[in-house]
């Protein structure tokens, strides 16, 4: 603690006008008669410490004669909380009171009250003390009038004692240097005035008559003014006026200290920065891809050395830099910058802010409260490249040769079933650098039935399915060729999407026609031979030469197509079993081609000889089948059970000069038949199924052994009574349209019985 200073206070005794009685009990000592207004009665001291635990004390000295007469003494009170003792009385010459200051105390006040006790003898009437004293002022400059204190008297002696306060000394001492804990606000701006609030310890003891002093010890342009003590109870609070000029050189840190009688405090920085910037506009605020834009940011308070920060939307580049970029040409109200928009930038919003030096001036961190160095936000929108409409041309584009706007399809295309369909989506011209992300085709509802192709031969018949076509990212997108099987209105949608997310579509529509049924007439009718089942020398259906066995006829109204558009017939055998009785017993003889799959009765469907089925002339609208079984003399009985499905197909024969597949037959002298299938030459069409009919035939012949007739050497009779009864059946079912393709994995072949059948 600083050494205590010595203050001397003169106590003046002043006479008061009044009546003095004639008799007194004792003689006043020398110097005690009624004092004059200027006579010195005593002296009060604030003395320095007299020991390690004593910080100072007050003392009042009075002449010994006056002290004895007046019973002089001094009362003192230490007002700092925790002081001990807080008050006391000492008598003698000098009469003194010693007070101790607690360790660490910041400041204490000492009030020293000095008094005299005169004694008078009266006849016990009411007594008025003739003395009154006026304090001449202590070290603090405070003074007040002290009037007579209330007295007591003794009834026997009528002795009256009165304590008279003759003076007071007020003294204040500061023991510890100030400590600043915080300044608010800790950041201010150029060209501003206001109040700083300083909080801390030991801030308010600046001397006996003056406030603490607040000083700017570093930095320029910031000045402080009046200091007001807001609080000195525990945590001290000062309010200090301040002014900041407008000079750019005034930005930065400024050290602030507080000085009291106890010393000078630590220095705490107040930062001076530019005002908070405000953006009013960004022009242009629509950024089109692809482009390079010089943008102008307008506002106020950008400050002495602002930086620009753009939080870019995808595809936006600002000087290839991240963070806040300082622009040399910026002013307090405007700045310009260049932004580049990528050709593939999607729609998005970029955020623009301006950051002044603010509290980041000269590199120190923005940890202050109050003003902010970052402006309000402005936005700019990215306008992406739109996706122009594609167009569609009919045909396969090999190398982009048919992708010409003049070839664009704008109307519904009229096609027929079985006709090859191919079309291409063509991309419009896009700005340089714009990328396509995806291209695809989607069939619209109703989807219809279509195939990618149909393959048919004795080795097998199969259908190729249409796959969903997804192209790459080129300038055209072919849809793989395919063929509609059913009729109706069909539509496809092409969609492409740019890398920026924008997309566009185009559609192509087809009206698909084909052979149509006449009213009430099915596509296929089947008629058995007229003379019934005939035994010997073959078990077969009867009939005339032109109608042997089951006759199949096609009936439809045909659309306009190629000049050689034609019917084709295909028959699949689903069951063919011969049962016979010989000298070794009963045998079951399934057709060899139908027994290729173990465990499956009758095996899978097999092609009846060739594709297409044989007709009397190419593309005839009729055909027939006469399943017959040879009857041998060595067989006692032979029966046959036969089932098949006959398919009617139609080929539009495109291009128009092509020829669909056909099959002709030549009958041999031994009863066999030689077939000659001819492959199709059509490259733009395939046959499509119109309908199919499943039919069944079975019969039984018994060797009578009664006569020899013909080559068989015996006479045969039906084991069933007739064609329509007793198990002899030739069915004639009705048909419905059916667009299912015939498929198979093997074919039957004509040949000797022991090759065609596998007897067990």
C-alpha 629/C-alpha 614 separation (Å) is: 19
C-alpha 739/C-alpha 648 separation (Å) is: 10
Position of tokens 């081609």? 593
Lookup: tokens for 263: 């010393």
Lookup: tokens for 347: 């729609």
Task: Quote the pLDDT of residue 710.
Answer: 46
Task: Quote the pLDDT of residue 706.
Answer: 60
Q: What is the mean pLDDT of residues 197-202?
A: 91
Q: Please count the other Cβ atoms lying within 10 Å of the Cβ belonging to residue 369.
A: 10
Nearest to 232 by CA among 81, 57, 84, 56: 81
Lookup: tokens for 404: 């010409």
Q: Please count the other Cβ atoms lying within 10 Å of the Cβ belonging to residue 364.
A: 14
pLDDT bucket at 529, cuts 50 / 70 / 90: low
Q: What residue spans define the domains of the chain?
A: 8-174, 179-273, 278-383, 391-513, 524-756
> Given a cut of 50, is residue 174 above it in pLDDT?
no
Q: What is the mean pLDDT of residues 646-654?
A: 94
**Lowest mean pLDDT: which of 194-208, 225-239, 461-475, 538-552?**
538-552
Task: Quote the pLDDT of residue 723.
Answer: 43
- Higher pLDDT residue, 167 or 614? 614
C-alpha 182/C-alpha 696 separation (Å) is: 109
Geometric angle at alpha carbon 61, from 57 and 62, rounded to 5°: 155
- Is residue 315 within 8 A of residue 341, CB to CB? The reply is yes
What percent of the chain clears pLDDT 70, i.e. is strictly above it? 64
> Given a cut of 60, is residue 166 above it in pLDDT?
no
pLDDT bucket at 532, cuts 50 / 70 / 90: low
Task: Quote the pLDDT of residue 752.
Answer: 72
The architecture (CATH level 2) of 179-273 comes to: Sandwich (2.60)
> Given a cut of 90, is residue 698 above it in pLDDT?
no
Task: Quote the pLDDT of residue 152.
Answer: 41
Per DSSP bridges, beta strands 606-607 and 662-667 are unpaired
Q: What is the mean pLDDT of residues 400-427?
A: 91
- Over residues 708-732, the pLDDT tens digits come to 544 455 666 665 544 443 345 555 5
Whether 179-273 shares its CATH topology with 278-383 is answered yes
- Over residues 51-78, the pLDDT tens digits come to 444 344 444 444 444 444 444 444 444 4
Contacts for 547 with CB less than 8 Å, ≥ 6 apart: 527, 529, 530, 624
C-alpha 755/C-alpha 633 separation (Å) is: 18
- Over residues 538-590, the pLDDT tens digits come to 777 665 444 457 888 999 888 887 788 899 999 999 888 888 988 888 988 88
Task: Quote the pLDDT of residue 670.
Answer: 66
Q: How far is CA 482 from CA 419, 453, 465, 556, in A?
A: 8, 7, 9, 24
User: What is the value of pTM for the model shown?
Assistant: 0.60
Q: How far is CA 203 from CA 264, 266, 558, 610, 619, in A?
A: 10, 11, 113, 118, 120
Task: Quote the pLDDT of residue 280.
Answer: 96
Task: Quote the pLDDT of residue 630.
Answer: 83
pLDDT bucket at 218, cuts 50 / 70 / 90: very high
Q: Is 358 helix (H, G, I), strand (E, B) or coil?
A: helix
- The CATH number given to 391-513 is 2.60.40.10
Task: Quote the pLDDT of residue 10.
Answer: 27
Lookup: tokens for 675: 């077939």
278-383 carries CATH number 2.60.40.10: yes
Geometric angle at alpha carbon 351, from 345 and 356, rounded to 5°: 140
- Over residues 359-387, the pLDDT tens digits come to 543 333 344 444 457 889 999 999 999 99
Task: Quote the pLDDT of residue 320.
Answer: 56
Residues pairing with 751 in the sheet: none
- Over residues 93-126, the pLDDT tens digits come to 333 444 444 333 444 444 454 444 444 434 434 3
């Amino acid at each position: 603690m600083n050494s205590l200073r010595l203050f001397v206070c003169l106590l003046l005794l002043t006479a008061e006008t009044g009546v003095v009685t004639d008799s007194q009990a004792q003689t006043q000592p020398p110097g005690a008669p009624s004092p004059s207004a200027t006579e010195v009665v005593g002296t009060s001291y604030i003395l320095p410490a007299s020991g390690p635990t004593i910080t100072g004390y007050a003392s009042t000295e009075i002449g010994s004669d006056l002290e004895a007469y007046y019973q002089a003494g001094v009362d003192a009170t230490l007002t700092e909380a925790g002081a001990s003792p807080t008050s006391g009385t000492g008598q003698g010459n000098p009469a003194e009171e010693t007070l101790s200051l607690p360790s660490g105390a910041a400041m204490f006040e000492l009030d020293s009250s000095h008094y005299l006790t005169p004694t008078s003898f009266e006849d016990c009437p009411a007594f008025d003390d003739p003395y009154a004293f006026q304090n001449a002022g202590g070290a603090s400059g405070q003074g007040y009038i002290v009037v007579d204190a209330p007295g007591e008297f003794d009834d026997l002696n009528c002795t009256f004692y009165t304590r008279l306060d003759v003076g007071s000394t007020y003294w204040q001492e500061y023991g510890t240097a100030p400590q600043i804990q915080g300044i608010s606000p800790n950041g201010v701006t150029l060209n501003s005035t206001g109040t700083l609030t300083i909080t801390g310890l030991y801030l308010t003891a600046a001397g006996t008559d003056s406030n603490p002093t607040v000083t700017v010890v570093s930095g320029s342009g910031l000045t402080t003014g009046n200091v007001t003590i807001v609080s000195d109870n525990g945590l001290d609070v000062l309010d200090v006026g301040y002014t900041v000029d407008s000079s750019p050189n005034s930005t930065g840190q400024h050290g602030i200290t507080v000085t009291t009688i106890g010393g000078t405090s630590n220095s705490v920085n107040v930062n001076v920065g530019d005002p908070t910037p405000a953006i009013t506009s960004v022009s242009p605020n629509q950024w089109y891809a692809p482009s390079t834009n010089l943008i102008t940011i307008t506002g106020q308070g950008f400050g002495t050395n602002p930086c620009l920060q753009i939080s870019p939307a995808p595809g936006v580049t600002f000087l290839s830099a991240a963070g806040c970029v300082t622009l040399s040409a910026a002013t307090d109200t405007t700045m310009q910058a260049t932004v580049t928009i990528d050709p593939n930038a999607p729609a998005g919003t970029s955020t623009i802010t301006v950051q002044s030096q603010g509290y980041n001036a000269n590199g120190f961190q923005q940890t202050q409260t109050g003003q902010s160095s970052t402006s309000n936000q402005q936005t700019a929108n990215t306008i992406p490249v739109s996706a122009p409409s594609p167009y569609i041309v009919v045909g396969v584009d090999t190398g982009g040769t048919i992708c010409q706007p003049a070839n664009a399809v704008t109307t519904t295309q009229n096609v027929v079933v079985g006709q090859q369909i191919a079309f291409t989506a063509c991309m419009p011209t896009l700005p340089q650098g714009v990328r396509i992300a995806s291209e695809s085709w989607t069939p619209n509802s109703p989807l219809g039935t279509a195939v990618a192709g149909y393959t048919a031969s004795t080795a097998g018949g199969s259908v190729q399915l249409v796959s969903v076509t997804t192209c790459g990212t080129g300038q055209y997108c072919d849809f793989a060729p395919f063929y509609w099987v059913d009729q109706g209105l069909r539509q496809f949608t092409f969609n492409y999407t740019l890398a920026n997310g924008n997309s566009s579509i185009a559609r192509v529509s087809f009206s698909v026609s084909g052979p149509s049924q006449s009213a009430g007439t099915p596509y296929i009718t089947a008629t058995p031979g007229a003379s019934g089942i005939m035994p010997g020398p073959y078990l077969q259906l009867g009939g005339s030469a032109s109608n042997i066995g089951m006759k199949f006829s096609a009936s439809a109204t045909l659309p306009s197509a190629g000049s050689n558009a034609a019917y084709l017939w295909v028959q699949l055998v689903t069951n063919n079993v011969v049962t016979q009785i010989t000298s070794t017993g009963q045998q079951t003889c399934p057709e060899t081609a139908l027994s290729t799959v173990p465990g499956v009765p009758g095996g899978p469907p097999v092609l009846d000889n060739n594709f297409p089925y044989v007709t009397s002339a190419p593309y005839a609208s009729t055909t027939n089948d006469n399943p017959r079984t040879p009857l041998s003399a060595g067989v006692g009985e032979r029966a046959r059970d036969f089932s098949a499905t006959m398919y009617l197909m139609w080929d539009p024969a495109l291009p128009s000069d092509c020829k669909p597949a056909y099959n002709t037959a030549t009958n041999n002298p031994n009863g066999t038949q030689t077939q000659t299938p001819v492959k199709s030459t059509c490259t733009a069409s395939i046959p499509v199924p119109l309908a199919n009919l499943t039919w069944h035939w079975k019969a039984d012949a018994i060797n009578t052994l009664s006569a020899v007739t013909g080559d068989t050497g015996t006479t045969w009779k039906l084991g069933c009574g007739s064609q329509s009864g007793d198990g002899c059946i030739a069915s004639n079912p009705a048909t419905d349209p059916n667009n299912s393709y015939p498929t198979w994995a093997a074919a039957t072949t004509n040949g000797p019985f022991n090759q065609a059948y596998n007897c067990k």
